[in-house]
Amino acid sequence: MFPIRLFKKEDEYTQCLICAHKCRIKDGKTGVCQTILNKGGVLYSINYGILVAGNADPIEKKPLFHFMPGSFSYSIASPGCNFRCMGCQNADISQSYRDKGYEGHLEYFKGLKQTHPEEVVEIALKANCGSISYTYTDPAVFFDYSLDVMALAHENGLKNVFVTNGYYTRESINATKGLLDAANVDLKFFNDASYRRICGGRLEPVLEAVKLFYANEVHIELTTLLIDGYNNNNAEIKKIADFIASVSPNIPWHISRFFPLYKMRDGNVTAEKTILNAYNIGKAEGLKYIYAGNIKLDGYENTYCPSCKSLLIKREGYNILEDNVIKGTDGYGRCKFCGYRIYGIF
């Protein structure tokens, strides 16, 4: 077990300050994620260095289309999650441990090898990756381990990426300042009741996290999974697009297709017309970069110049077929045809 950095001791409880649940945990108990244990008034991460995934992925898989496009990111995860999303696509590693309780977690972890941060960085470098992504589950449940890996990654010239539900505190987001380079945040709904029912969380902390990540100059892209009967109505889609535009119309928005999984197997696969409708609403609200995910729609994964409308990056799946972005020495990109500055790190 590894003592975490962000907690506050109270009389009868110790409060975790990593995620927005801000769990007040009694001695011998865990928080919502079941990976943070109170032992004698100190909070410990019980899955520190326990990895259930390690893969070199195209950065486009995160999805990040405006951050080091064409590169690979070494992607890691520890088990558990601070959400309990009913349609989770990675439930086998994020939710299956929930029924075990922390005693079950500890028993399971005894048989697993602990991977030290140095090993992660070494593997990423050998795989010719440009970054390390903390993904598949949520970095909140292996936050202190992520911080340690991120520091070493920067020392070795690697960037750091969070793929996350965005359910963080101001304290934890600021703890990543100077270490975190990019994040794809799931903006799942624009309805607090849906967040509570489907995810076991709340809307407002996610919105605040997006704004704070952006203010901290972290490269941000957002993803919304459109689910019939929950967030595919015009009013909610417009609210999501309006919020993104209020932070910055440059923020790329990935509109993703839902496939019935986990506890939502009776749901519907998102219709193509629903994705296109959301795309058009986002464009009408002034968003400059919108992409369709989990669905093959010709041209809807390409990047176009917001100024001259020229094709900048042509994609097919995770592959780049054409690239017309001029890369500057400062890492920024410009349109090859008109010189317009393109949001992102190229």
Domain residue spans of the chain: 2-45, 53-301
Phi-psi region of 64 (alpha: psi -120 to 50; beta: other; left: phi over 0): beta
Contact between 84 and 95 (Cβ < 8 Å): yes
**Sheet holding 24-25: strands in order across?**
7-9, 14-16, 24-25
pTM of the model: 0.96
Domain 53-301: give its CATH architecture: Alpha-Beta Barrel (3.20)
Q: Find, among 29, 74, 69, 73, the residue nearest to 51 by Cα.
A: 74
Determine contact, residues 187/204, Cβ cutoff 8 Å: no
pLDDT in tens, the chain (346 residues): 899 999 999 989 999 999 999 999 999 999 999 999 999 999 999 999 999 999 999 999 999 999 999 999 999 999 999 999 999 989 988 987 766 666 766 777 777 789 999 999 999 999 999 999 999 999 999 999 999 999 999 999 999 999 999 999 999 999 999 999 999 999 999 999 999 999 999 999 999 999 999 999 999 999 999 999 999 999 999 999 999 999 999 999 999 999 999 999 999 999 999 999 999 999 999 999 999 988 989 999 999 999 999 999 999 999 999 999 999 888 899 999 999 999 999 9
Tell me the two tokens of residue 262: 């986990």
